[in-house]
Every structure is written in structure tokens, then in C-alpha cells.
């Protein structure tokens, strides 16, 4: 990255797909005008705290990585409209998801989720959610019922393969 602010302002989208990326440089925090960040099909296991500086981010695609946790700072990204984190190893979602009041697309399919935070039901802007191929307990199935118009038969896991 250049220290020239005019150059940095022009960067509104980054697409680093299938490059074997294992970590994101901390200097990503300098990209305050970033609206779309695609980091799918890499080898990410964690996300740096500097991502919380991307306050204009609307579209975050982290699917097909090796993430085991979504950090609590995800709630700082309150302009997010599209969050795609399917095909990772997430076991839970942070409570701060409730702060994503502009979110209308959430894909958490094919993770290891067994619980969902009750606060997800407060996300009234969601019009597309995918919970398929997780191991949700009965309590989380109750939480998921607040999205019953969008879920269809997603919770039966019949087409998940594996075990």
C-alpha cells in the first residue's frame, strides 16, 4: 500500500480468492473506503483485529477457509449487508452479530455450529439466511424458527454428506 491518501481512497474492493492466504496484513486497517472484501478459498484460521477499522464494509466473503471462530469485533462492521462464512469450522457465532442491523444475507452453512445466539432474531433486515449442514441443538432450532420464512428444510441435514 502507498501512503498516498488519494490512492488509498480509490481502493473500494479487494478480491483475494484462492491464493493460499494464511493471514491478512494489519495494514488493511488503512483501507477505510473498502466496501467489498473477498477472501474466500484461502487458508485463513483467524481474522486480525485491524479488520474492525473497515467501517464502510458492506460485503465480506470468507467462505471456504479454515476459520474456527468469528471474532467479536464483527459487530463493529455495522454497515455489513452481505456476510458469507460457509464452509469453515465455526462452532459458534459471536453475540455482537446483533449489531449488524443492516445485514440482509447471511450464509453460515457447512460449519460446526451447534448453537445460535438468540440475538440473531433481532436482525430484522435479513431476507436470506443459510444454516444448512450444521449440528444445531434444539435451542438453536428454536432460535432459527424466527427465520422460518427463509429456512425451508435447511435444518434436516439430509444432503450434507460426511458422517
Three-class secondary structure assignment of 129-143: EECCCCCCCHHHHHH
Residues counted in the chain: 163
Question: What pLDDT does 135 receive?
Answer: 87
Is the pLDDT score of 163 beyond 50? Answer: no
Nearest by Cα to 112 from 151, 143, 150, 67: 67
When mean pLDDT is compared across 58-72, 86-100, 107-121, 130-144, the lowest value belongs to: 130-144
The DSSP output letter for 59 is: E
- pLDDT tens-digit map of 81-126: 999 999 999 999 999 999 999 999 999 999 999 888 888 889 989 9
Region for residue 142 given its phi and psi (left: phi exceeds 0; alpha: psi -120 to 50; beta: otherwise): alpha
Amino acid at each position: 500500500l502507498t501512503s498516498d491518501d488519494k490512492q488509498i481512497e480509490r481502493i473500494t474492493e479487494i478480491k483475494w480468492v484462492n491464493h493460499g492466504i494464511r493471514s491478512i496484513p494489519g495494514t488493511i486497517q488503512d483501507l477505510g473506503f473498502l466496501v467489498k472484501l473477498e477472501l474466500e478459498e484461502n487458508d485463513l484460521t483467524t481474522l486480525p483485529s485491524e479488520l474492525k477499522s473497515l467501517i464502510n464494509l458492506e460485503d465480506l466473503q470468507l467462505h471456504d477457509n479454515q476459520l474456527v471462530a468469528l471474532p467479536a469485533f464483527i459487530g463493529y462492521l455495522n454497515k455489513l449487508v452481505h456476510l458469507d462464512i460457509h464452509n469453515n469450522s465455526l462452532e459458534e457465532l459471536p453475540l455482537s452479530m446483533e449489531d449488524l442491523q443492516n445485514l440482509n444475507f447471511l450464509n453460515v452453512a457447512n460449519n460446526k455450529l451447534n448453537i445460535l445466539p438468540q440475538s440473531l432474531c433481532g436482525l430484522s433486515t435479513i431476507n436470506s439466511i443459510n444454516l444448512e449442514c450444521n449440528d444445531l441443538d434444539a435451542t438453536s432450532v428454536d432460535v432459527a424458527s424466527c427465520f422460518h420464512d427463509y429456512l425451508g428444510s435447511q435444518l434436516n441435514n439430509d444432503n450434507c454428506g460426511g458422517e
